[in-house]
Chains A and B, each alone.
Chain A
Amino acid sequence: MKKQLFWLVVVLVALAMVAAQCGGGQPAPKPQEKPTEAPKEAPKKEEAKPAANGHKYGEVTDMGGVDDKGFNQLAWEGMKMAQEKLGVEVKVLESRQQTDYEKNLNELINQKYNGIVTVGFLLADATKAAATANPTMKIAIVDFPSQTPTDMGLLFNVDEPSFLAGYLAAGMSKTGTVCTFGGIKIPPVTAFMVGFESGVKYYNDKKSGKIKLLGWKTDGAKEGGGDGSFIGNFNSLDDARSSAENFFDEGCDIIMPVAGAAGLGSAAAAKDRGFKMIGVDSDLFVKAPDYKAIALTSVLKKIDNAVFEAVKQMEDGTFKGGSNYIGTLKNGGVGLAPFHDSEKLVSKELQDELKAIETGIIDGSISTGWPVKK
């Protein structure tokens, strides 16, 4: 017993010592550590971060975390691009639950960060509150419009490239049926589906075709602009797989899952059956080399570029709160990915038509049907 007590006391004292040394204040541990043990280390650490100008930018993710293979990750890639090209320091704070949004934002504000990027509609309330309480802080939010005179919204007209994808899918389908489904029924997701549907319809009008679309039906009278198939999350590969299997059973041969990382579940199903898939957000062909063979194209939503742009504006002083950055086909903020290996499958004629439609969408002569009118 005495021996145990002795060890316990020793360990507690050791812990207390460690704690006391670190707790004394933030800058304390580093200078104390380096000179006593390894004076050479200090210059090396500085080399590791080239041309740092001391400006700090932080990203706050939602629960998906920074490795969600979705918008959190894309935003982080934009941040890292800023680190490389602008020489700023970037950090990411992941949120594990709802209480963390406000806490993480406050953490970045209290640590005197120069600017903050938040990701997704879940952070909308916290972003609004932080922007209102700290009007001098530069805040940008991905996928949500600006809510105060000091924050900036980063939005993407994904309906535009989705329209092209719908037209392409309709032109490529052998069974005469194409399909789509979403993660959660929110505007950033349904915009893809509405655009896709409009593209298919446009094809049918032009070619008097009878291509069927499964998984989404626009209806202005309905809540959320229509009804469709949703798996209820962005991370369950199983849900996305079974959803795809159902559609394939009903005759669909080209699928566009709008479900973030979960979409890879559909990719697996499509690979098994030899069908094609259209990726979303980033280029499926590049991101998931396993599924090169089934990747027809991808609807690109260049969140990384937009985040980089926002940080750049924060850095050079051109950042304007109360406004939205909108990625369009025109400014290259959204687009259709290259066909890569599928190039030879897409006829020259279809490719030319797509180019004509792209011009039409840019000059406004073709409507993508988004936002849905009541």
Chain B
Amino acid sequence: MTKDEKSPSKLVKQTFDLVLIPMLAVLTALIIGGFIIVATDTNVYTAFEEGGLGVGLSAVGTSILVAYGSMFSGSVGSWRDISESLVASTPYIFAGLAVAVSFRGGLFNVGVEGQLILAVMASVYVGSRFPFLPWIIHLPLTILAGMAAGALWAGLAGYLKAKTGAHEVINTIMMNYIVYLFADWSLNGFLCRVPCSSPVSPPVLPSAYLPQFFYRLHLGFPLALMVAFGVWWLLFKTTIGFEIRTVGTNPNAARYGGIQTTRVMVMTMALSGALAGLAGASELLGVNRVLASGFSSGYGFDAIALALLGRSHPLGVVLASLLFGTLRSGATRMQSLASIPTDIISIIQALVIVFIAAPAIIRWVYRVKAKGTDEGSTVLVQGWGS
């Protein structure tokens, strides 16, 4: 992460600084979320009105405890719940890595959502055909189809950026819409289940399934961990990774230093898109196994928060994804026991992003002093407006 990794105690301290702000951000978001839960709980108001202050305060306590308690039990309360949390984390890991890689390369891939959906379309096309193929060929082929689709779609944005300077943020956002509408159209056409009565794709054949081995937990999760390790290795231990990071830090210096920035930019975006494709493919082949509208509720956009939360480091992304997956998964129990809408989780996630994006708030609230090493390690997007 930083150059002077000499004494272990210094390293620990630096890592601690790096981790402190995200953790405090999550904590603060949960606390504010608690206020919102209380403020929207009608039982609390009636308790204050009828029972006075004491009863009211205890109702406040009950409200928060039941809400977060049910969320906790719903996410890690039983083996099944733990498996569900990991299932929910899997697409987050892939998608978070996709954004993290683009951040490292100084690019901002806002198109993960579109790349993901395009990848699912490619995967479902391949996965629902070729019944004669054995799984050992069919499954990799289906995954590769998804990765290729994502890589091509993102690579195109990278190419436009590198060759013409067209900003990748604008392009990837616009390309998302192309994919949304293309998906709508395809689901009423060539991707529609026969007979086409509703816009739902045919199911993926069992030979292309990512097998589920622990309740609904499927091979996509270990694959995600392996890919995260692979991305770390690629970014920090290989020449290609060095080139990506150098272009990300200063493209002009990189070009001066003999790196082909055009090639690296396209490659970074393609890699990012391939990871986005993996997010979609693993979700399709592991759990959903059909494509219908509403396949993804914004994994690609949550991924931006994950990359920020994880400081664009693969390990950080994995941890952030586990957190988000756990929150999402616990939301179901929160609904069924405490009747709290899942929107509260979106609010908490959004608050996390706000606090990560504006660390000054967290510093001020918790009186944490700014450190030189704290912010410099992650370079975000280069060339806004250029």
Partners in one complex: yes
Q: Is B200 a contact of A121 with CB atoms below 8 Å?
A: yes
Q: Judge if B295 is at the interface, Cβ distance under 8 Å.
A: yes
Distance in angstroms between the alpha carbons of A62 and B342 in the assembled complex = 13
- Asked whether, in the complex, the Cβ of B196 is within 8 Å of the Cβ of A8, the reply is no
> 1/0 per residue A179-192: CB within 8 Å of B?
00000111100000
Query: Shortest distance in angstroms between B179's beta carbon and chain A's nearest beta carbon?
Result: 13
A40 touches B332 (CB 8 A): no
**Docked CA distance A340–B332 (Å):** 42
Q: Does B333 contact A (CB under 8 A)?
A: yes
Known contacts A40-B55, A41-B59; is-contact A232 B342 (Cβ 8 Å): no
Contacts of B341 in A (CB 8 A): 65-66, 94
CB <8 Å contact, B342 and A94? yes
In the complex, whether B61 has a CB less than 8 A from a CB of chain A is yes
* Chain B residues near A205 (CB-CB < 8 A): none
Q: Does A317 reach chain B (CB closer than 8 Å)?
A: no
- Asked if A22 contacts B335 (CB within 8 A), the reply is no
Known: A41-B58, A121-B198, A185-B188. A93 touches B368 (CB 8 A): no
Q: What separation, in Å, do the CA atoms of A297 and B4 have in the docked complex? A: 75
Whether A232 lies near B335 (C-beta < 8 A) is no
Of A41, A48, A100, A104, the residue contacting B51 (CB under 8 A) is: A41
Q: Is B199 an interface residue (CB 8 A)?
A: yes
Q: In the complex, A108→B69 CA distance in Å?
A: 18
Given contacts A41-B51, A107-B332, contact A62 B283 (CB under 8 A): no
* With A8-B20, A91-B335, A121-B198: A102-B66 Cβ-Cβ less than 8 Å: no
CB distance from A301 to the nearest CB of B (A): 17
Across the interface, which residues of B come within 8 angstroms of A7, CB to CB? Answer: 366
Of B47, B62, B88, which is in contact with the most chain A CB atoms at under 10 Å from its CB?
Answer: B62
B72 at the interface (CB under 8 A from A): yes
Contact B58 A102 (CB under 8 A): no
Q: Which residues of A contact B296 (CB under 8 A)?
A: 97-98
Cβ contact within 8 Å between A103 and B84: yes
- B55-A29 in contact (CB<8A): no
A111 CB within 8 Å of chain B: yes
Residue A75, interface by CB 8 Å: no
Contacts of A44 in B (CB 8 A): 47, 50-51
Flag the segment in B148-156, B246-254, B284-292 that touches A: B284-292
State whether A99 touches B198 (Cβ < 8 A). Answer: no
Do A38 and B54 form a contact, CB below 8 Å, given A26-B73, A63-B297, A122-B293?
yes
Query: Which chain A residues numbered 302 to 334 have a C-beta less than 8 Å away from chain B?
Result: none
Known A41-B59, A121-B200; contact A29-B65, beta-carbon cutoff 8 A: yes
- Asked if A58 is at the interface (CB within 8 A of a chain B CB), the reply is yes
- A99 and B59 contact, CB distance less than 8 A: no
Interface flag for B134 (CB, 8 Å): no
Is A92 a contact of B335 with CB atoms below 8 Å?
yes
Residues of A within 8 A of B23 (CB): 8
Interface string of B84-109 (1 = CB under 8 A from A): 10011000000000000000000000
Q: Which of B20, B24, B336, B366 contacts A91 (CB 8 A)?
A: B336
Q: How far is the CA of A62 from the CA of B184 in the complex (A)?
A: 17
| CB contact list, B39-84 vs A, under 8 A | 43, 46-47, 50-51, 54-55, 57-59, 61-62, 65-66, 68-70, 72-73, 76-77, 80, 84
B interface footprint on A183-210 (CB within 8 Å = 1, 0 otherwise): 0111100000000000000000000000
- Stretch of A13-21, A160-168, A253-261, A349-357 at the chain-chain interface: A13-21
Q: Is there contact, CB below 8 Å, between A99 and B287?
A: yes
CA distance A147 to B5 in the complex (A): 63
Contact between chains at A23 and B77 (CB < 8 Å)? yes
Give the chain B neighbours of A34 by CB distance below 8 A: 58, 62
Q: Do the beta carbons of B294 and A19 come within 8 Å of each other?
A: no
| Closest chain B CB from A113 CB (angstroms) | 9
The reply on A125 being an interface residue by CB < 8 A is yes
If the complex has contacts A63-B294, A98-B292, A186-B199, are A4 and B20 also in contact, measured as CB distance less than 8 A?
A: yes
Partner of A102, one of B188, B287, B339: B287
Smallest CB separation, A226 vs chain B (Å):
13
> B181 near A: Cβ within 8 Å?
yes
A346 lies within 8 A of chain B by Cβ: no
Query: Is A344 close to B, CB under 8 A?
Result: no
Most buried by B among A4, A22, A45, A100: A22
Contact A18 B188 (CB under 8 A): no
Partner of A18, one of B58, B65, B184, B294: B65
Contact flag A111-B336 (CB < 8 Å), given A187-B198, A232-B181: yes
Nearest residue (CB) in A for B24 is: A8
Partner of A186, one of B50, B80, B198, B342: B198
- CB atoms of A99 and B88 under 8 A apart: yes
Contacts of B295 in A (CB 8 A): 97-98
CA distance A171 to B297 in the complex (A): 44
Max count, chain A CB within 10 A of own CB: residue among B23, B203, B332: B332
Q: Taking CB as reference atom, which chain A residue is nearest B184? A: A232
B370 on the A face (CB < 8 A)? no
Closest to B197 in A: A187
Set B61, B66, B287, B293: member contacting A37, Cβ < 8 A: B61
Q: Does A224 contact B (CB under 8 A)?
A: yes
Q: Hey, which chain A residues are within 8 Å of B200, CB to CB?
A: 121-122, 124-125
B27 within 8 A of A: yes
Give 6 A-B contacts (CB < 8 Å), ordered by A residue. A4-B368, A23-B76, A26-B337, A98-B294, A100-B332, A124-B200
Binding site for A on B (CB under 8 A): 13, 20, 23-24, 27, 43, 46-47, 50-51, 54-55, 57-59, 61-62, 65-66, 68-70, 72-73, 76-77, 80, 84, 87-88, 181, 184, 188, 196-200, 203, 216, 283, 287-288, 290, 292-297, 299, 328-329, 332-333, 335-337, 339, 341-342, 366-368
Nearest 6 pairs of A and B residues by beta carbon: A22-B69, A97-B297, A37-B58, A63-B294, A121-B198, A38-B58
Beyond A4-B368, A92-B335, A121-B197, 16 extra complex contacts between A and B, CB < 8 Å = A1-B13, A11-B27, A18-B69, A22-B72, A23-B77, A29-B62, A29-B65, A29-B66, A29-B69, A33-B62, A38-B55, A62-B294, A94-B341, A96-B342, A97-B297, A107-B332
